[in-house]
């Protein structure tokens, strides 16, 4: 698995790419109104979901939003988004920041600006135990994923003969797997591990070591919103240097060898382009 950590973006896209509107100065607007409006998911275990005990919205993405709001000295307001609605909600000005397991890629960067990477993972599958040994075992099958996600795009490319069934989110996709309506579900390993960890029948399923995509997550902001992008990037770097970023990762995913098969990796600034930019 790819190392998890924060890397510098080396490529800055022009504000007019893709016809997206110029954002103005959202940072100044946030300070003036005293509230940061953050778009997050509410049904993605580990990143953004409703805690059953407290009924509060919690998760890795939620904590990063809170940290940025605290650094700004403003209140935090959350609005729920899905993979399909997060960019439209951001571009429309309904949210200031999108923190919602969003993979950075060149197509999306034509519409919005991204922060430096604050999490990275790879795309895999959940299947019933013993049913899949190699990628070819998934060809011709019905595969569930989330609508508007890179997982949806990657699955179509990797499995051209499979039927890709898209759901509003990953929870209903996993339910379809449990009900036998799909043969497998696919998304980022980090999300799959959290879904499986919470499933009462988790012993029936597994995540084979089959990778079909690299997924670097970025916080999304409106195109050309340079002041906010710079502030968010500095906050992420400060969190990394202070150890807060590592503490947040361990809170939700655990160190290597604990709850999830992940290794956050070492912090590195190398000034090189990331894989999605090449």
Give the whole-angstrom CA distance, residue 224 versus residue 112.
8
What was the pLDDT predicted at 197?
A: 87
Best CA proximity match to 146, nearest among 179, 114, 111, 103? 103
pLDDT confidence of 14, banded at 50, 70, 90? very low
Q: In the predicted model, what is the mean pLDDT of residues 232-248?
A: 94
Tell me the H-state helices in the chain. 26-33, 60-72, 86-91, 150-158, 170-178, 189-198, 226-242, 244-253
Hey, which CATH number is domain 123-214, 3.40.50.970, 3.40.1360.10, 3.40.190.10, 3.30.450.40? 3.40.190.10
Q: In the predicted model, what is the mean pLDDT of residues 88-92?
A: 96
Q: Is there a contact between 42 and 191 (Cβ–Cβ < 8 Å)?
A: no
Percent of the residues in the chain that have a pLDDT greater than 90, as a whole number = 72
More confident of the two residues 270 and 192: 192
Q: Is there a contact between 213 and 154 (Cβ–Cβ < 8 Å)?
A: yes
Best CA proximity match to 242, nearest among 219, 220, 267, 217? 267
- Any idea where the domains of the chain sit in the sequence? 17-118+218-272, 123-214
Q: In the predicted model, what is the mean pLDDT of residues 62-73?
A: 98
CATH superfamily of domain region 17-118+218-272? Periplasmic binding protein-like II (3.40.190.10)
What was the pLDDT predicted at 12?
A: 32
What was the pLDDT predicted at 275?
A: 54
Best CA proximity match to 87, nearest among 112, 124, 107, 56? 112
3-state SS class at 50: strand
3-state SS class at 218: coil
Give the whole-angstrom CA distance, residue 149 versus residue 100.
11
Q: In the predicted model, what is the mean pLDDT of residues 130-150?
A: 94
Residue 200 DSSP symbol: T
What was the pLDDT predicted at 3?
A: 36
Give the whole-angstrom CA distance, residue 121 versus residue 2.
6
Other Cβ atoms within 10 Å of 47 Cβ, number: 27
pLDDT higher than 70, residue 259: no
pLDDT higher than 80, residue 22: no
Q: In the predicted model, what is the mean pLDDT of residues 187-203?
A: 90
pLDDT higher than 80, residue 72: yes
pLDDT higher than 70, residue 55: yes
**Residues in the chain, total:** 278
What was the pLDDT predicted at 263?
A: 36
Give the whole-angstrom CA distance, residue 124 versus residue 188.
6
Domains 17-118+218-272 and 123-214 in one fold: yes
Which helix (H) or strand (E) is 174 found in, with range?
helix 170-178
Q: Is there a contact between 114 and 104 (Cβ–Cβ < 8 Å)?
A: yes
What was the pLDDT predicted at 11?
A: 30
pLDDT confidence of 6, banded at 50, 70, 90? very low
pLDDT higher than 50, residue 13: no
Percent of the residues in the chain that have a pLDDT greater than 70, as a whole number = 83
What was the pLDDT predicted at 261?
A: 34
Q: Is the pTM here over 0.75, yes or no?
A: yes
Other Cβ atoms within 10 Å of 2 Cβ, number: 17
Least confident of 115-119, 268-272, 273-277: 268-272
pLDDT higher than 60, residue 264: no
């Amino acid at each position: 698995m790819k190392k998890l950590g924060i890397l510098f973006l080396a490529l800055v896209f022009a504000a007019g790419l893709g016809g997206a509107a110029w954002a103005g100065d959202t940072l100044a607007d946030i300070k003036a109104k005293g509230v940061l409006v953050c778009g997050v998911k509410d049904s993605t275990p580990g990143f953004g979901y409703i805690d059953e005990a407290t009924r509060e919205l919690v998760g890795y993405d939620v904590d990063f939003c809170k940290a940025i709001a605290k650094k700004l000295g403003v209140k935090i307001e959350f609005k729920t988004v899905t993979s399909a609605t997060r960019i439209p909600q951001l571009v429309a000005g309904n949210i200031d920041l999108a923190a919602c397991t969003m993979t950075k890629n060149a197509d999306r960067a034509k519409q919005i600006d991204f922060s430096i990477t604050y999490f990275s993972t790879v795309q895999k599958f959940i299947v019933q135990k013993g049913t899949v040994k190699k990628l070819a075992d998934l060809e011709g099958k019905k595969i569930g994923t989330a609508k508007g996600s890179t997982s949806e795009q990657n699955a179509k490319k990797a499995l051209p003969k499979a039927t890709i069934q898209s759901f509003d989110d990953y929870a209903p996709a996993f339910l379809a797997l449990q009900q036998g309506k799909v043969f497998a579900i696919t998304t980022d390993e980090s999300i799959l591990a959290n879904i499986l960890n919470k499933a009462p029948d988790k012993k029936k399923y597994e995540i084979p070591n089959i990778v079909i995509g690299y997924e670097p997550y970025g916080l999304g902001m409106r195109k050309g919103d340079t002041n906010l992008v710079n502030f968010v990037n500095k906050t992420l770097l400060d969190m990394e240097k202070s150890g807060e970023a590592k503490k947040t990762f361990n809170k939700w995913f655990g160190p290597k060898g604990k709850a999830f098969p992940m290794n956050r990796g070492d912090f590195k600034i190398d000034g090189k382009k990331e894989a999605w930019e090449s």
